Amino acid sequence: MAGLNSASDHAKLALILLGVSGLFFIIAFGAPYWSTRSDGRAGLWEGCVDGVCYERWNQWVVGWVKVCQGFMTFAFICWFFSGFCTLIYVLHKDHENDKRLVCAACILISVAAFCVFVAVVTWVSNATFSKGEVLNWAYAVACAVFPVFGFTGYILLRELRRRIK
């Protein structure tokens, strides 16, 4: 392939989807607005109540928040290396026929999709929503990211099957 001009449509689409969905994933990953209520907000890494903010990586943070943090962090790592493998596959001429890169990228982004799914389901199933507390835009972005990650995995699987034939 040795460049975008000679890359297959599947590889180009996967690279674009990885970039765009990754940008939205990073926004959801770092945003402190997964849920809000009248007196504060909560996110993966920070929560605020009555104007007092606290970090959520201390020992006293409830276990389900740590589970969400862990799955989202692992999803970030998988997304990063999936993007790296896809970028090398598309742009480096010595790896244009390397099916291992496509296979690794496909597995990694599929694992990332699963991890984001587990994190958003864990958040919504364990958060105790008091009166007036709602899920916010960052949670919605995270919910939108995992199907795109899954679709990207499917596109990479199609690219792998095309390469095998």
Domain map of the chain by residue range?
9-164
Write down the pLDDT at residue 61: 77
What angle do helix axes 99-126 and 137-164 make, rounded to 10 degrees?
160
Strands (E), the chain: 35-37, 40-42, 46-49, 52-55, 134-135
In sequence order, the 6+-apart residues with CB closer than 8 A to the CB of 38 are: 132
Question: pTM of whole model > 0.85?
Answer: yes
C-alpha span between 79 and 86 (Å, rounded):
11
Handedness of CA 111, 3, 8, 16 (dihedral sign): positive
List per-residue pLDDT tens for the chain, 165 residues long. 456 666 788 888 999 999 999 999 999 999 888 888 888 888 888 888 888 877 776 767 788 889 999 999 999 999 999 999 999 888 876 666 778 898 999 999 999 999 999 999 999 888 777 777 788 899 999 999 999 999 999 999 998 888 777
Q: What CATH code is assigned to 9-164? A: 1.20.140.150
